[in-house]
Structures are given as structure tokens and as C-alpha cells.
């Protein structure tokens, strides 16, 4: 496998309108700053690294298609389909274009790019990025050391790629590549892209082959057009490519990359939250201490000027007690007096009897009037509270009673008193709400 960090690879940097801002050959390490800033990275994978098939595939859902693809391509590839990443194009009249690539290799390439800052990826085979012509074969030749990559896209949309080992010091290197291309294209019209510095060398190889060939061969080689690599052509072809090799790839690396991308903003947000909590608690603590200091100062001022008096809270209780005594002397009823308690209890009792939800479950009572007149068996006043005795069978719902008593500024407490010589008695203790 190639060292993706050290090897110089062809690249192009595009703007939003797909105009080439910069191109050339650089290693991934040298491109790290650019990869951190770009929104998307498009990989053009060598044709010899991708196997392209055209197969009849029955109509299946995406989930079932993913499960069926390994079995469909098993007879068309050498190796284990389980070790391959398989991508299928859209269904066109039952035919699908299927791209097969080594999964571990692809993940390793993506990992190498992520380590230098890239985050979002798309990948397409080089042969699908070549233009598709009606009567002309599109070809591209890439040379790295002794390795020569030849990519083809034929008018019938068949796309292939092969890798050759030819000594880079071989004086007839271009002629051998040219002859191989002629065999692959069956001497059809061909447009071949080569590196700009190699255009003259290939033109010279064609002329040399022409001079040493007979007339028929001269006609065949005259059908070849040589052009330098043009990123605009590859970008236009990439937009119409049908198989994104990254599609459906298991992406644990992408998840790590996204977390890495958000690490700094999340750390800043967490720091800001902690800072705000500390500031909030410090303000609360400061205000709490100020409250204590102010309370202490007020107490000191009060004690200094009223040395013979009790604390203000005690004075307030004494004042309320005096007000109650004055009301009693003037004939006014206090809320805890017997008549006030009895009047408020009578109002609450009428509402309780009419709304009692237990009335439908009792067979001993014929109407609310019966309950109103027979439920209470005794009424006593003691310690500013009414003690009401009720028959347990006729006692209204306690929660309803508490609600109605509370609406009339009364507090109800319920107790049970069971005596063997008489029916069960329920005790209600009613007090005024202070």
C-alpha cells in the first residue's frame, strides 16, 4: 500500500463555482492546511483499484439489495465479497452499474485523509469521471514510477482500467502504452488524456509508430487524439458519475472526525456554562451574606434604641393578641369563635353533601337531605376547634370535605373512633385557618 502522507498526488483546489484555483502535485501532509478549510473532499480513485460490473438486478428495497449484492457479484470477482465494499447505481431498465473496491483499502485512504484534517468525503472511479462520447473512446494514462494506469470509457458506457509495469527508463515506454491502448480500444476513435509534460513524448511515439507501420496501421493510429489532463473535464464527469464509493461505507472514522470537529466548540460551551454557574453561586453566596449582615445590623439598631423591648417578631405576636381581645370586647366574632366556626362549617357542609361522590355507593341513604340530617351525631367546641362526630356509613368523602372547608377558611383533620357498643364513628376536627 502507498504511503499517502509522503507520496505526491495530483490535486485541484476549487471555488464555489467549480473554478480551479490551484492544481499540481503535493503530498497529503503539504495539503493539510487546505484540507482543514475545504467543505468537501472528492477522491478520484484509480480505475485499476475499482471493478465495475453491469448486472441485471431484480427490483429490491435498499436494505435487501445491500444483502443481495455480495451473492450477485461472487462469480464476477476474484476474492471474498465480504472483504469488498459494494456500491450499486440506480436501476435503469433492470440494469445496475456495480462498483466493487477493497473495503480495508478504502477505509485506510479515508483515515489517512482524516488524520490531516479532512472531514467530508465523496469518491468516484476515474473511468466514470471520463467523458462519455457516442463514437469515441475516452482514455486517461497516469504514470507513477514504473506503474502505468490506463482508464477507458467506451461509447457503450463500459468502463475498465488496467495497471501495467513498464520500466520508466525504457526508451519505448510511450510506444508500448500506445500499442496496449490500441488493443483495448479495438482501434476505435480515441481521445487520450496524459500529463501535460508527456504530450510531446506521446505525439513522437505516434509518429514513430506511424513511420514504422504499413498503410492500414497508419489509418488506425490517426484516430487517436492526445490532450493534456484537464480538471474541468474530470469535474464535469464526476458530477454525472453514478457510483459514489463512500456511499454506504461503515463510518466510525467519520464519527470520530465529527466529534473532533466539535471538540473545541463543546469545550468552550462547557467552560462558559461552568463559569456562569460559578458566577451565579458566588452572587447567591454574596447576597446571602449581605442579608445576614443587614439582619444583624437591624437587630443591633433596634436593641440600641429599644433596650427594654422584645424583638419585633414577639412584638407583632403581642399586637395580634391585643387585636383579638379588642374584637371580643367590642362584640366582634373571631374566626376561631364557636359561632364563626359553626357558620362556616354549615356553608361547607351543604356543598359537601350535594357533591359527595360516595353517595352512589351507599344503600343506607335515600337522598342528600337524609345525609345532611342523619350523618352528624355530635358537635362539640373545645380549644377553639369544632369536634364533629359522624356515622362512618354516612361520612362524606374526606378529600372533598377538606377542599370545601379550605374554601371557607377552615382546616379539617379526620380521625376514626371505633367503639364495640355502637357503630363506627368518624371524628372531624375543624379549626379556623390562620
The CB density around residue 26, as the number of other CB atoms within 10 Å, is 17
Beta-bridged to residue 415, according to DSSP, are 427
Q: 3-class SS at 403?
A: helix
**What percentage of the chain has pLDDT greater than the value 70?**
84
Average pLDDT of the segment spanning 264-281: 85
Q: Which residues contact 75 (CB under 8 A, 6 or more apart)?
A: none
Instruction: Name the more confident of 269 and 358.
Output: 269
Average pLDDT of the segment spanning 208-231: 68
Would you place residue 258 in the very low, low, confident or very high pLDDT band (cuts 50, 70, 90)? low
| Residue 173 CA: distances (Å) to CA of 104, 120, 354, 366 | 33, 38, 109, 116
Q: Which residues contact 146 (CB under 8 A, 6 or more apart)?
A: 165, 166, 167, 168
Average pLDDT of the segment spanning 322-340: 73
Task: State how far the Cα of 359 lies from the Cα of 353, in Å rounded to an integer.
Answer: 9
Q: Is the pLDDT of residue 201 over 70?
A: yes
Average pLDDT of the segment spanning 227-234: 88
* CA-wise closest residue to 379 among 335, 432, 425: 425
- Contact (CB, 8 A) for 389 and 377: yes
Q: Is the pLDDT of residue 97 over 70?
A: yes
Would you place residue 425 in the very low, low, confident or very high pLDDT band (cuts 50, 70, 90)? confident
Task: State how far the Cα of 298 lies from the Cα of 228, in Å rounded to an integer.
Answer: 93
pLDDT at 218: 44
Average pLDDT of the segment spanning 372-400: 83
Task: State how far the Cα of 118 lies from the Cα of 42, in Å rounded to an integer.
Answer: 10
Q: Is the pLDDT of residue 283 over 50?
A: yes
Core vs surface per residue 193-217: b (16+ CB within 10 A) or e: bbeeebbebbeebbeebeeeeeeee
* H-state helical runs in 227-251: 231-239
pLDDT at 315: 66
Q: How does pLDDT run across 127-151, given as a tens digit for each residue?
A: 888 888 888 888 888 887 778 888 8
> Number of helices (H) and strands (E), helices first, in the chain?
13, 16
Task: State how far the Cα of 118 lies from the Cα of 141, in Å rounded to an integer.
Answer: 27
Average pLDDT of the segment spanning 73-81: 83
pLDDT at 393: 79
pLDDT at 364: 47
Name the average pLDDT for the chain: 79
Q: How does pLDDT run across 149-195, given as a tens digit for each residue?
A: 888 888 888 888 888 888 877 778 888 888 888 888 876 888 888 88
Of the listed ranges 60-64, 66-70, 156-160, 318-322, the least confidently predicted one is 318-322
Would you place residue 219 in the very low, low, confident or very high pLDDT band (cuts 50, 70, 90)? very low
Task: State how far the Cα of 218 lies from the Cα of 95, in Å rounded to an integer.
Answer: 39
Q: What does the CA dihedral 393, 397, 398, 401 come to, rounded to 10 degrees? A: -120
Q: How does pLDDT run across 2-19, given as a tens digit for each residue?
A: 455 677 788 888 888 888
pLDDT at 183: 82
Task: State how far the Cα of 41 lies from the Cα of 254, in Å rounded to an integer.
Answer: 13
Alpha carbon 51 to its chain's center: 34
Amino acid at each position: 500500500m502507498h504511503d499517502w502522507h509522503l507520496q505526491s498526488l495530483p490535486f485541484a483546489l476549487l471555488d464555489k463555482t467549480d473554478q480551479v484555483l490551484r492544481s499540481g502535485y503535493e503530498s497529503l501532509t503539504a495539503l493539510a492546511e487546505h484540507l482543514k478549510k475545504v467543505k468537501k473532499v472528492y477522491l478520484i480513485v484509480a480505475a485499476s483499484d475499482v471493478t465495475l460490473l453491469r448486472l441485471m438486478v431484480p427490483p429490491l428495497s435498499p436494505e435487501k439489495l445491500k444483502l443481495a449484492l455480495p451473492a450477485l457479484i461472487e462469480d464476477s470477482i476474484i476474492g471474498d465479497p465480504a472483504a469488498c465494499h459494494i456500491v450499486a447505481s440506480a436501476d435503469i431498465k433492470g440494469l445496475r452499474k456495480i462498483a466493487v473496491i477493497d473495503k480495508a483499502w478504502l477505509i485506510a485512504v479515508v483515515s489517512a485523509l482524516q488524520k490531516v484534517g479532512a472531514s467530508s468525503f465523496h469518491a468516484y472511479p476515474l473511468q466514470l469521471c471520463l467523458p462519455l462520447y457516442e463514437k469515441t473512446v475516452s482514455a486517461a494514462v497516469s504514470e507513477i514510477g514504473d506503474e502505468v494506469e490506463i482508464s477507458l470509457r467506451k461509447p457503450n458506457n463500459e468502463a475498465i482500467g488496467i495497471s501495467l509495469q513498464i520500466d520508466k527508463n525504457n526508451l519505448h515506454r510511450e510506444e508500448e502504452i500506445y500499442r496496449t491502448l490500441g488493443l483495448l480500444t479495438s482501434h476505435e476513435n480515441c481521445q487520450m488524456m496524459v500529463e501535460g509534460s508527456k504530450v510531446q513524448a506521446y505525439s513522437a511515439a505516434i509518429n514513430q509508430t506511424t513511420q514504422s507501420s504499413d498503410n492500414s496501421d497508419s489509418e488506425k493510429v490517426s484516430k487517436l487524439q492526445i490532450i493534456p489532463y484537464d480538471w474541468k473535464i474530470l469535474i464535469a464527469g464526476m458530477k454525472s458519475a453514478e457510483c459514489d464509493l463512500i456511499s454506504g461505507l461503515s463510518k466510525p472514522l467519520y464519527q470520530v472526525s465529527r466529534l473532533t470537529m466539535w471538540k473545541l466548540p463543546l469545550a468552550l460551551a462547557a467552560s462558559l456554562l461552568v463559569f456562569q454557574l460559578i458566577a451565579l453561586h458566588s452572587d447567591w453566596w454574596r447576597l446571602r451574606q449581605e442579608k445576614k449582615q443587614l439582619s444583624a445590623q437591624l437587630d443591633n439598631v433596634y436593641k440600641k434604641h429599644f433596650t427594654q423591648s422584645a424583638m419585633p417578631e414577639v412584638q407583632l405576636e403581642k399586637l395580634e393578641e391585643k387585636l383579638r381581645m379588642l374584637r371580643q370586647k367590642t362584640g366582634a366574632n373571631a374566626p376561631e369563635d364557636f359561632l364563626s366556626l359553626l357558620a362556616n362549617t354549615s356553608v361547607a357542609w351543604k356543598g359537601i353533601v350535594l357533591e359527595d361522590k360516595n353517595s352512589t355507593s351507599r344503600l343506607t341513604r335515600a337522598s342528600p337531605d337524609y345525609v345532611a340530617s342523619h350523618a352528624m351525631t355530635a358537635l362539640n367546641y373545645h380549644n377553639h376547634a369544632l369536634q364533629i362526630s359522624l356515622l362512618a356509613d354516612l361520612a362524606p368523602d374526606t378529600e372533598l370535605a377538606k377542599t370545601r372547608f379550605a374554601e371557607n377558611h377552615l382546616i379539617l383533620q379526620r380521625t376514626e373512633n371505633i367503639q364495640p357498643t355502637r357503630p363506627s364513628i368518624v371524628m372531624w376536627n375543624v379549626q379556623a385557618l390562620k
